[in-house]
């Protein structure tokens, strides 16, 4: 039984065909090194929806989407839009020609998009100058000609309560209504033009497995899913205030499960709705509405919350930072078995003030990098360094000054050196810096995918390339639609009581890459992010840490001769 209070959302699927234990062990035992590259904010359909076939096996992508899971509905949960409202500055009309009139609601609107998924590349190309300068937030994107090259879109809301509303019990038809970006949530990229696709299908590339039924472990955004990735649980904010003060961080959720209004959703609570860091209060203080039955409540941190230890977003008050966590992590479990591991983060040396360390790009006594957020003498974090993407920094075992922090929290530059030198650790977690992590809003998809390819090449072309398994996945969906409902929805024989209040959420991309594979293939079984933890539990024989999800090692069987 895992720590935390939810049970498996995956392992009780009826009729799942597990691989023979001996075959699993043999496959997993072939690898001496594991590299997990953790990218940012894309649903499966958004990136891999046009993958096509792999050695004759079809990938469950956009061509398989049916109208019921594609046609988005209004707040009444019945009326279908005719058009997609857009507010990204490069997708509105103007500048695009108006070709669709929507009068399905009280306020008509015009658009260039009908109610279905659409190809982003047609309107915003990878070469377009639509990316903001580092550290600049552009709420509705950057107009062509006024930004940096990279084809960026605006960011899209990806929050705990919003996503559950959007999934709509597996109907997948309220992504637009529940989004601050409205119609952009239905956009997708031309998969075959992505650098990662081109690389994996180039001469001499390693073979791969694409998992087309892989889901983010928890509903919502990056913060919570990073916590589930390493600890398999939702963190509790110890001593959280429940007094309606400015530092009461509980959300306020309406009868529809929404904590806010969007361009196409009006909360019946009006200004009383509140989308904050924590789940709704189980017993709201005077002056706040009662929390509806069935809504997750308590002192759980589910939306972006800053760590107590440096580095954290400068200026965040102590009362609004998550008190140090003491629950076990995958790092603790690996260390207990004397397995050498590290979390490699792009920009870590700069952020932590590791002067002269791997990846340091500043001076010896000041922040000289023009992309640095000057916090000397604490450090010089990159303007796009994401503090909530550093999950181990939330745990007391890895606080500043500990040997564990020095041994296990490192800069991505050190990972690249290890890959090139043949000194990879047994387990490497790799988290690129903001500009290179593919996150909509502040990062270029094409440039992030190119960086992903560079990381894979560094491993595959290095001395450890022959005995390394690379796993590529994404932390969460980034607010983007996917046509495949997460478990337990539409699973024949699935025990519905196994679904919990945390997830799994929207389907996300996942790849396994290795020189050892005899074939490339498609893994169709259900997995989630915690399936990676489950794989390590088998490999290194440590105590169960998380929900008993399907072991990702089973995906290796599709590569056998």
Q: Nearest CA to 178 among 265, 107, 269, 253?
A: 265
Calculate mean pLDDT across residues 489-497: 57
Question: What integer pLDDT is reported at residue 542 of this predicted model?
Answer: 87
Q: How confident is the model at residue 68 (pLDDT cuts 50, 70, 90)?
A: confident
Question: What integer pLDDT is reported at residue 350 of this predicted model?
Answer: 98
Q: How many CA atoms lie within 13 A of 237 on its CB side?
A: 31
CB burial of residue 524 (10 Å; 0-12, 13-18, 19+): middle
Element (H, E) at 468: strand 468-474
Q: Nearest CA to 187 among 221, 154, 220?
A: 154
More confident residue, 20 or 561: 561
- Assess whether pLDDT exceeds 90 at residue 69: no
Q: Are strands 341-345 and 409-411 parallel, antiparallel or unpaired?
A: parallel
C-alpha 538/C-alpha 532 separation (Å) is 10
% the chain with pLDDT above 90: 87
What is the model's pTM? 0.93
Contact (Cβ atoms closer than 8 angstroms) between residue 231 and residue 545:
yes
> What 3 state SS string does 523-551 have?
ECCCEECHHHHHHHHHHHCCCCCCCCCCC
pLDDT, one tens digit per residue, over 414-451 is: 999 999 999 999 999 999 999 999 999 999 999 999 99
Residues whose CB is less than 8 angstroms from the CB of residue 401 and which lie 6 or more positions away in sequence, other chains included: none
Calculate mean pLDDT across residues 438-466: 97
C-alpha 421/C-alpha 416 separation (Å) is 9
Which pair of structure tokens corresponds to residue 519?
């074939």
Question: What integer pLDDT is reported at residue 7 of this predicted model?
Answer: 26
Q: Are strands 468-474 and 510-514 parallel, antiparallel or unpaired?
A: antiparallel
pLDDT, one tens digit per residue, over 115-140 is: 999 999 999 999 999 999 999 999 99
Calculate mean pLDDT across residues 171-179: 97
C-alpha 215/C-alpha 477 separation (Å) is 9
Which pair of structure tokens corresponds to residue 530?
């915690």
Domains annotated on the chain, with CATH: 21-63+191-235+306-466+501-559 (3.40.720), 237-299 (no CATH)
Question: What integer pLDDT is reported at residue 492 of this predicted model?
Answer: 59
Calculate mean pLDDT across residues 366-390: 97
Q: How confident is the model at residue 408 (pLDDT cuts 50, 70, 90)?
A: very high
- Assess whether pLDDT exceeds 90 at residue 508: yes
Question: What integer pLDDT is reported at residue 549 of this predicted model?
Answer: 76
Contact (Cβ atoms closer than 8 angstroms) between residue 173 and residue 73:
yes
Question: What integer pLDDT is reported at residue 67 of this predicted model?
Answer: 82
Question: What integer pLDDT is reported at residue 499 of this predicted model?
Answer: 65
Question: What integer pLDDT is reported at residue 494 of this predicted model?
Answer: 47
Which pair of structure tokens corresponds to residue 412?
């991505």
């Amino acid at each position: 039984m895992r720590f935390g209070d939810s049970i498996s959302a995956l392992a009780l699927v009826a009729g799942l065909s597990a691989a023979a234990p001996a075959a699993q062990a043999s496959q997993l035992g072939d690898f001496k090194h594991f590299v997990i590259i953790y990218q940012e904010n894309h649903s499966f359909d958004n990136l891999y929806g046009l993958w096509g076939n792999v050695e004759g096996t079809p990938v469950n992508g956009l061509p398989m989407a049916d109208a019921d899971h594609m046609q988005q509905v209004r707040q009444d949960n019945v009326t279908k839009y005719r058009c997609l409202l857009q507010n990204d500055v490069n997708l509105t009309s103007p500048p695009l020609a108006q070709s669709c009139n929507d009068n399905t609601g009280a306020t008509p609107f015009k658009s260039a998009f009908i109610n279905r998924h659409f190809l982003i590349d047609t309107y915003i190309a990878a070469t377009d100058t639509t990316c903001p300068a580092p550290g600049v937030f552009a709420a509705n994107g950057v107009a062509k000609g006024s930004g940096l090259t990279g084809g960026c879109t605006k960011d899209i809301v990806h929050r705990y309560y919003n996503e559950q509303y959007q999934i709509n019990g597996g109907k997948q038809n309220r992504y637009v209504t529940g989004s601050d970006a409205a119609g952009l949530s239905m956009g997708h990229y031309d998969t075959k033009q992505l650098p990662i696709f081109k690389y994996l299908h180039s001469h001499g590339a390693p073979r791969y497995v694409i998992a087309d039924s892989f889901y983010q472990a928890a509903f919502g955004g990056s913060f919570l899913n990073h916590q589930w990735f390493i600890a398999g649980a939702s963190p509790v904010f110890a001593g959280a205030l429940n007094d309606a003060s400015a530092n009461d961080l509980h959300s306020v959720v309406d009868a529809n499960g929404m904590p806010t209004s969007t361009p196409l959703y009006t909360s019946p609570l009006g200004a009383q709705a509140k989308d904050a860091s924590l789940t709704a209060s189980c017993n709201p203080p005077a002056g706040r509405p009662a929390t509806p039955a069935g809504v997750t409540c308590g002192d759980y941190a589910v939306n972006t919350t800053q760590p107590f230890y440096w580095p954290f977003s400068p200026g965040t008050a102590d009362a609004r930072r998550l008190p140090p966590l003491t629950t076990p992590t995958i790092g603790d479990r690996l260390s207990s078995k004397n397995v050498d591991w590290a979390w490699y983060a792009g920009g870590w040396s700069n952020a932590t003030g590791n002067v002269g360390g791997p990846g340091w790009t500043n001076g010896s006594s000041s922040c000289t990098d023009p992309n640095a957020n000057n916090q000397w003498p604490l450090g010089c974090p990159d303007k796009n360094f994401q503090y909530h993407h550093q999950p181990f920094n939330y745990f007391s075992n890895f606080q500043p000054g500990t040997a564990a922090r020095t041994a296990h929290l490192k800069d991505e530059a050190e990972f690249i050196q290890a890959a090139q030198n043949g000194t990879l650790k047994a387990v490497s977690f790799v988290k690129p810096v903001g500009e290179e992590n593919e996150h909509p809003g502040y990062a270029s998809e094409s440039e992030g995918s190119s960086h992903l390819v560079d990381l894979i090449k560094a491993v595959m072309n290095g001395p450890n390339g022959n005995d390394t398994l690379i796993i590529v996945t994404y932390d969460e969906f980034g607010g983007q639609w996917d046509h495949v409902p997460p478990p337990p929805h539409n699973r024949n024989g699935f025990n519905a009581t196994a679904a919990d209040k945390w997830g799994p959420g929207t389907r996300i991309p996942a790849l396994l890459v290795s020189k050892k594979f005899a074939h490339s293939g498609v893994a169709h079984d259900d997995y989630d992010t915690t399936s990676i933890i489950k794989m390590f539990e088998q490999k290194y024989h440590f105590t169960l840490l998380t929900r008993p999800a399907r072991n990702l090692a089973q995906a290796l069987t599709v590569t056998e001769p």
